[in-house]
Structure formats: C-alpha cells, structure tokens
C-alpha cells in the first residue's frame, strides 16, 4: 500500500529540481498507509513532499484549503505533479504537533473542547454544491444513504475489493457482518440527507494537535472526505476510542451533545442516537473488509470484537 519506491537519494535529487535553494534536514515521516512522506527545509521554509499512486488524493487536499480556519487548519498545498518514477507528488507547508490518537488520558480536559471545535468547524464548512463526493471530478447523483449502502458492498471497481470471499469463509465473522448489515439497513431511514463536511478519517496520523492538546495544528489527508452527516466523524472517534485513552477520556459524543447551540438545532439532533449507532456500525463493518484485504489478522479480530460490542450495546442515549 505505502509507496517506498523512492530512496533518500532519489528524493533529494527530485527536490533539488523543484527548489532553487539547498535541501536540508530531509527526514522520512511516519503515518500514512497510501503515501510516503518526507519533511525538509529549504529557503527557511519547512515543507513536506508526499508520493503516492493517485493524484486525486492530493487534489482533495488542495481543494480542502477552501475550508481552512482557526479550528480547521488545512496545510497549504504548494505544488502537485508527477514524479520521474510516474508517481503523483504533492509539496505542502509542514505543520508540527502530536497525533490526535496519541494524546494521553491526562490531557482529556484540554482535548475535549479542542476536538469539539474541530467537529463544529467541519459541520460549519460551507457547501459549494450538493454532491456527496464533493472533491471528485464530474457530476454525481449519489445520495448520503446510497454512499452508506455502497460502503457495505465488495465493489471490484474500488481499490479495496475482493474481501467478501474471505469474510464468507469464516462463519462467526460472516454472521456478525450479516447482522450488522441488516441493522444498518434498518437504520438508514433515520439518516438525513445532510451535506456537512465529513473528513472520514480523523485518526491514523491525519490530525495534529498542540503538545498540550489545546488546539488543532493541522488536518491532513482529505481523500476519504465526503459531504454527509456530521455525526459520522463523531462516530468514527467513538468507535475507535477504546484504542486511544485520550479520546476515550475526552468522550467526544457526550461533549458534543452538551453544547447548547447543537442541542437547540432540532434538525441536527433529530434521531441522533439511531444515526450515531448506524455510523459506528458502518465504520466497524468497513474495517472488517479493510483488515481482510490487508491480511491484518490481529486488527481484524480486535475490530470484530469492538463491532460486536457496539452491536450488542445498541444506540447510545443521545438527545
């Protein structure tokens, strides 16, 4: 998945052809399953270059710059193109911080309002059109509910496909998946055709926060972003919370619904419990397919356990 085709020497040579100044402090950066990333210094600027197979990923990052604000900082994408080895590349301004998922439980008091401001900023981002697939080229009539339903299908037209056979070969896992699909189907009617900005992958090294967790420093990697229901990002955080003590202690679901302005918005909170439950189940189901596709047995089993817990628990008591 991750592109390791370029060596340090090749990256240096590539960057020397992109900048007039000397390339200094080149370092390989972590995070990212689909791209390789390198941080560097040139002309007193700290930049990042990423290499991957899809130019559209980086075009999404550049398009997301339109949403940038104090609580939704989106790094400036300076350049997108094709590297000599045929891969797409993007050069962006570098931001620093700690990953959201690495914040310890001891900073939960600071993290909770920071995370809520981020979720609020995503919800408040203006929409330019009615497309769910907002950053993809061309027209699309796909609705939010259709997007949710499509995520349950092993589609050969998608990069991640071919996992359904492995799923069906495991009776216990297949039974859980079938039960989850049925419940999601029953809950879809409660999911409104909203067009909030949904990041779709707020973990996995995609959000940087300050050392004290008091502010968001950068929101990265917008390739999974869609226009839909803001509660999807909240469900993303709550589903994965058991893996991340700081997020679990911050309890973003409770913190979000403690906001008077949100509670007063009847359209935003209508059927909130059913919607949130649907999205948690969706996140878990999609990642069963992901882990089957990658062959990650340990995370497959852990995700299945968590999905089973959420399924048995049912909807949270939300407004």
Judgement on whether residues 132 and 119 belong to the same structural domain of the protein: yes
CA-nearest of 237, 232, 230 to 251 is: 237
CATH, residue 66: 3.30.200.20
Q: Which domain holds residue 113?
A: 98-313
Judgement on whether residues 138 and 210 belong to the same structural domain of the protein: yes
Strand partners, 91: 49, 79
**Per-residue pLDDT reduced to its tens digit, 28-45:** 997 566 788 999 999 999
Judgement on whether residues 35 and 160 belong to the same structural domain of the protein: no
Judgement on whether residues 127 and 85 belong to the same structural domain of the protein: no
The backbone region for 2, taken as left when phi is positive above 0, alpha when psi lies in -120 to 50, beta otherwise, is beta
Based on its alpha-carbon atoms, the radius of gyration of the chain, rounded to whole angstroms, reads 20
Q: What are phi and psi of 73, to 5 degrees?
A: -75, 120
Q: How far apart are the first and last CA of the chain?
A: 41
Measured CA angle at 86 (ends 32, 95), to 5 deg: 35
Residue 42 inside a domain? The answer is yes
Distance (Å, rounded) from C-alpha 32 to C-alpha 45? Answer: 23
Q: Is 218 helix (H, G, I), strand (E, B) or coil?
A: strand
Judgement on whether residues 131 and 23 belong to the same structural domain of the protein: no
Each of the 319 residues of the chain gets a pLDDT tens digit; together they read: 544 568 999 999 999 999 999 999 999 997 566 788 999 999 999 999 999 989 999 999 999 999 999 999 999 999 999 998 899 999 999 999 999 999 999 999 999 999 999 999 999 999 888 999 999 988 889 999 999 999 999 998 888 899 999 999 999 999 999 999 999 999 999 999 999 999 999 999 999 999 999 999 999 999 999 999 999 999 999 999 999 999 999 999 999 999 999 988 999 999 999 999 999 999 999 999 999 999 999 999 999 999 999 999 999 998 6
């Amino acid at each position: 998945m991750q592109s390791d085709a370029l060596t340090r020497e090749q990256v240096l040579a590539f960057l020397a052809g992109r900048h007039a100044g000397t390339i200094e402090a080149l370092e390989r950066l972590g995070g990212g399953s689909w791209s390789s990333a390198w941080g560097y210094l040139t002309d007193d600027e700290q930049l990042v270059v990423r290499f991957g197979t899809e130019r559209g990923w980086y075009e999404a990052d550049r398009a997301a710059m339109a949403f940038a604000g104090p609580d939704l900082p989106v790094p400036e994408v300076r350049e997108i193109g094709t590297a000599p080895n045929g891969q797409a590349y993007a050069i962006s301004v570098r931001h620093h911080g700690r990953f959201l998922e690495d914040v310890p439980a001891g900073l939960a008091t600071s993290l909770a309002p920071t995370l809520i401001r981020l979720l609020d900023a995503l919800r408040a981002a203006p929409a330019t059109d009615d497309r769910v697939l907002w950053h993809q080229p061309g027209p699309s009539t796909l609705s939010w509910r259709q997007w949710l339903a499509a995520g349950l299908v092993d589609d050969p037209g998608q990069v991640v496909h071919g996992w359904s056979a492995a799923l069906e070969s495991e009776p216990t896992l297949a039974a859980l998946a079938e039960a989850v699909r049925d419940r999601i189907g029953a809950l879809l009617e409660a999911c409104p055709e909203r067009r909030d900005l949904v990041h779709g992958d707020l973990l996995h090294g995609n959000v940087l926060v300050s050392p004290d967790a008091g502010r968001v420093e950068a929101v990265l990697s917008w390739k999974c972003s869609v226009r839909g229901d803001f509660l999807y990002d909240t469900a993303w955080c709550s589903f994965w919370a058991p893996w991340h003590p700081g997020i679990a202690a911050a309890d973003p679901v409770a913190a979000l619904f403690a906001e008077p302005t949100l509670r007063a918005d009847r359209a935003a909170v209508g059927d909130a419990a059913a919607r949130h439950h649907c999205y948690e189940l969706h996140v878990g189901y999609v990642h069963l397919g992901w882990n089957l596709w990658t062959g990650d047995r340990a995370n497959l089993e852990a995700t299945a356990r968590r999905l089973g817990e959420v399924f048995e628990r049912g909807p949270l008591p939300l407004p």
